[in-house]
Amino acid sequence: MRFWTCFLLLCFTVVSPLTAGASERIVGLGARTGLEVTVYNADLAQVRDIRRVLLEKGESRIVFSDVSARLQPETATVSGQGIGVMEQGFETKPISPQTLLAASVGRELELVRINPATGEETVRRARLLAVANGPVLEIDGKVRTGWPGSYLFDAVPPGLRPKPALILRLKSADAGERVLDLTYLTSGLSWQADTVAVMGPKGDMGLDVRATLRNGSGADYRNTSLKLVAGDVNTVQSRRTLRAAAPMLEATMADGVAEQAVSGYHVYSLARSVTLKDGETKQVSLFSAPSVAVTRELVAQGNGQMFHGRRREEAESNAAIELVMENTRDAGLGMALPAGAVRVYRKDAAGGLIYLGADHLTHTAIGKTVRLGVGRDFDVPVKRVQTAFTRVADRLHEAAVRVTVSNGGADEVTVTVREPIPGDWKMLDESHPHDKVSANRAEWRLTVPAKGETVLTYRVRVRF
């Protein structure tokens, strides 16, 4: 009991290098009057923490406790009317048996041992010499390794605190209550969009877009005003505050969520406060679209290996299933879509959901096309084979390819054959007309009858 009483008392009587020789005023969570957290996609968040403190005239030493353990000290800024920040430091080492021992090397402490038979407690003074591979102690002029009992420390060593803290040396023009406004960046907080998509009976699709938040920052954020930023932020420039930017677009979202387009990013603001505990993963709803027009496409994707040299093996795979949506209001959507996973389901005859597959969605602006690859069609196998290869000259090749698309289903299907063709190429011969959709890609749209097959052949000249 004596050990733990002393230990707890010492935890709250800490003198750090920044504040040595002067008392500290701890500004804890009870002094908080406001909290705003803006979370980015890539393990980054901006925290604005507002607290009240009673200051004396002149210099004061303030412990701003319960901040993120992964706070980036170089980004921390503190402001307040009538005050100036003279010095600030960030202390993150937590109190634990290991850190207490490591920070007490060279100091005297007391060794406590209890006789298991009698319960009698004995206490001895010792100097801690080292802890690298276990405690090394100097007792009565002799050196001993290890100790079977516990340790009693005279004081908590400098730099150790129960929780991470920002240590401030402030100067106030007058005595009185002040509001400290702390803003900093921290890692350990992130979010991503997770979308549940359910195929409807008429070929449409319902979308439910949720934000999945993860907190590994080492701090709790209770009753916070929350903003989520979608977009790739440059971390060197990310100290700017989004609240200062003028909104360009605003739309009402689900459950009191508002969306703003700000300086190339999309910001989702929640009207209600949110509590996010350390180590917690939480989902909040962003918006939903009950009926979005969607087209199901079958794609036979090549890999470009047919044009570099002679290949005798036959490549076989099934056509990929792609769901295509236009991000427009006419199609039932028309919202900026944040990056994240999209999981697609279809209702069965009993009304339950059958999982069809998933894909990753990149940040998609209004007016852009969304393509989701959700799996492969069992009934539509595709075979590719190189039928001829000629090296015409140095870095100039000709290749002939045959693509056989089969359909084991009961309905006719259309399959898009995509061939990535490297270099500068020219189509010499083909059984079906192609579209040159980009400098390095040709596409054919083949109609494949039910229980039948369609064969595409072509010859191409490629200059590397």
**CA angle (241 as vertex; 235, 247 as ends), nearest 5:** 115
Which amino acid is it at 429? D
What integer pLDDT is reported at residue 209 of this predicted model?
Answer: 94
pLDDT, average across residues 19-24: 52
Is a pLDDT exceeding 60 seen at residue 40?
yes
What integer pLDDT is reported at residue 94 of this predicted model?
Answer: 72
Mean pLDDT rounded to a whole number for the chain: 86
pLDDT, average across residues 188-197: 95
Flag the least confident range among 110-124, 175-189, 249-263, 318-332: 249-263
Is a pLDDT exceeding 70 seen at residue 413?
yes
Extended beta strands in 200-334, E state: 204-215, 221-230, 250-252, 257-262, 265-270, 274-276, 281-293, 295-301, 315-326
Cα 193 from Cα 279, distance rounded (Å)? 19
What integer pLDDT is reported at residue 230 of this predicted model?
Answer: 87
DSSP 41: S
What pLDDT, in 10s, does the model give residues 331-382? 999 988 999 999 999 988 888 899 999 999 999 999 999 999 999 999 999 9
Which amino acid is it at 448? V
- Band of residue 254 on the pLDDT scale cut at 50, 70, 90: low
What integer pLDDT is reported at residue 167 of this predicted model?
Answer: 92
pLDDT, average across residues 1-17: 35
Cα 439 from Cα 351, distance rounded (Å)? 46
Flag the least confident range among 5-14, 161-170, 386-395: 5-14
What integer pLDDT is reported at residue 348 of this predicted model?
Answer: 84
What integer pLDDT is reported at residue 233 of this predicted model?
Answer: 66
What pLDDT, in 10s, does the model give residues 139-170? 999 999 988 889 998 887 776 777 889 999 99
What pLDDT, in 10s, does the model give residues 44-89? 999 999 999 999 899 999 999 999 999 999 999 999 999 999 999 9
What integer pLDDT is reported at residue 51 of this predicted model?
Answer: 96
Cα 317 from Cα 312, distance rounded (Å)? 17
Flag the least confident range among 112-116, 254-258, 457-461: 254-258
**Residue 383, C-beta contacts closer than 8 angstroms, at least 6 positions apart:** 314, 315, 316, 403, 404, 406
What integer pLDDT is reported at residue 263 of this predicted model?
Answer: 62
Q: Are 11 and 162 in contact (CB under 8 A)?
A: yes
pLDDT, average across residues 303-313: 85
pTM of whole model > 0.85?
Answer: no
pLDDT, average across residues 289-296: 93
Q: What is the three-class DSSP state of 101?
A: helix
Task: Give the other-Cβ count within 10 Å of 342's Cβ.
Answer: 23
Q: How far is CA 204 from the centre of its chain?
A: 30
What is the length of the chain?
Answer: 464
What integer pLDDT is reported at residue 164 of this predicted model?
Answer: 87
Is a pLDDT exceeding 60 seen at residue 17?
no
